[in-house]
Amino acid sequence: VQSRRSALVVGFDPFLEWMPASLARELERECAALHGSAGQDGSGLEGAGQPRPLRQAELLQAAADAVVRWGEGLIEACGPHACAIKLQLACFEQLGGPGWEAARQVARAAQAAGLLVIADAKRGDVASTMQGYGRALFGPVPLPGGVAVAGLECDAATLHPYMGEDSLQALAPWLDAGRGVFVLVHTSNPSAGQLQGQRLADGTSVAERVAELVARWSARWRGRCGYGAVGAVVGATYPEAVRRLRARLPGVWMLLPGVGAQGGRLEDLPPAFDGAGLGAVVAVSRQILGAWRQAPEQDWRQACRQQARELREALEMIRHGR
């Protein structure tokens, strides 16, 4: 945030429906060609719209390649205005093995551009399984015979708190080595309060209790700026929660999603930042990814860059209390 002078996290949720028109047309042509050629040899179709396995692999690869082009263009356009990119893993997993490898490629492109990479994975499991997720998301992955391969090599990942600190504890070796996590505290969605808003016997809410746990965990991995490696996800769609939780999250980075399409507003976010303009990063996905729709005659990257620049500038005003 300090060196890049930006608290903006570009959210890359590559739902194919949101793909810029020029990239989507290109992919559509490729899919039609693959699908058509599968039909022409008389053996490619197993029911309406269902290609056979060979074509399936080629179609997934074509879609994954398009997602990589999209991600690389986005990073080139918006990277200079952001501190990090957040990859929505669901969108990559849709595309199977090629999708997972696409996430790896986009992560590498982002890091080459100086961005941190946050895997929006929302994992949370028992310790042994979390070790597997740690390897998958952060790496390396040991293979038999003393060989190791890379994982996704992300810098941080999002985490569910429901199973308690076992889920976090298993990631300790990665936190020791400088990686980070963001634990879900108060999420941005409409039904967030259904469980997170329940009041405990002492009057605190479930989200507030989770915030206390996160603050305690984060203190174990405190960095130079006074903030720890365990952050908190707090939806920008609940500004009152942002304000209240800030007080329960001393030394904890807040990752604030929900600005734009989900209804969160930048002007509600000043309480998330400390006096030095630190303590929070703001993740924006659809508002940046969909910016090209406002100017369809322009290069899509221009529109995304312009949107990212405006968001960054607005956040810099907030960070510096202006």
Residues acting as catalytic residues: 122
Q: By CB under 8 A, tell whether 160 contacts a second copy.
A: yes
Q: Residues 149, 143: contact at Cβ < 8 Å?
A: yes
* 161 belongs to the binding site for a second copy (CB under 8 A): yes
Closest CB 170 distance from a second copy, rounded Å = 10
Cα 193 versus chain centre, distance: 22
**Residue 174 C-beta: closest distance to a second copy, Å:** 14
Q: Taking the alpha carbons of 51, 57, 60, 66 in that order, is the dihedral positive or negative? A: negative
* Of residues 6 and 14, the one with the C-beta less far from a second copy: 14
98 binds a second copy (CB under 8 A): yes
Exposure letters 168-187 (e unless 16+ CB within 10 A, then b): bebbeebbeeebbbbbbbbb
Question: Does 125 interact with a second copy (rule: CB under 8 A)?
Answer: yes
Site string for a second copy, 187-226 (x = CB under 8 A): xxxxxxxxxx-xxxx-x--x--xx--x-------------
28 touches a second copy (CB under 8 A): yes
Does residue 177 interact with a second copy by CB under 8 A?
no
Q: Are the CB atoms for 129 and 166 separated by under 8 Å? A: no
Q: Does 150 bind a second copy (CB under 8 A)?
A: yes
Rule CB under 8 A: choose which of 4, 69, 80, 166 binds a second copy: 166
For a second copy, the closer CB: 100 or 113: 100
Name which position in 22, 37, 54, 140 contacts a second copy (CB under 8 A): 140
| Cis peptide bond prior to 140, omega within 30° of 0 | yes
When asked if residue 45 is in the footprint of a second copy (CB under 8 A), the reply is no
Q: Which is nearer to a second copy, 288 or 318 (CB)?
A: 288
Residue 129 CB-density burial (10 A; 0-12 exposed, 13-18 middle, 19+ buried): middle
List residues bridging with 143 in a β-sheet: 147
- In angstroms, give the least distance from the CB of 189 to a second copy: 4
Binding to a second copy by residue 245, rule CB under 8 A? no
- Identify which of 235, 283, 242 has the alpha carbon closest to the alpha carbon of residue 118: 283
* Residue 263 sits in the site that holds a second copy (CB under 8 A): no
Task: Choose between 108 and 309: whose C-beta lies nearer to a second copy.
Answer: 108
CB of 228 to a second copy, least distance (A): 18
Identify which range of 58-66, 220-228, 287-295, 298-306 contacts a second copy by CB under 8 A.
58-66
Q: How far is the CB of 162 from a second copy (least distance, A)?
A: 5
Contact 109, 72 (CB under 8 A): yes
Q: Rounded to whole angstroms, how far apart are CA atoms 75 and 105?
A: 12
Size of the site for a second copy (CB under 8 A): 89
Place of tokens 């990212």: 308
- Binding of a second copy by 254 (CB under 8 A): no
Residue 255 near residue 231 (C-beta atoms within 8 A): yes
Residue of 4, 24, 113, 270 that binds a second copy (CB under 8 A): 24
Determine which residue in the list 22, 43, 54, 132 makes contact with a second copy, applying CB under 8 A: 132
Q: Is 59 in the site for a second copy (CB under 8 A)?
A: yes
What DSSP string describes 38-81? HHHTT-SBSSTT-B-HHHHHHHHHHHHHHHHHHHHHHHHHHGGG
Tokens 């293979």 locate to 143
Contact by Cβ (8 Å): 315, 263: no
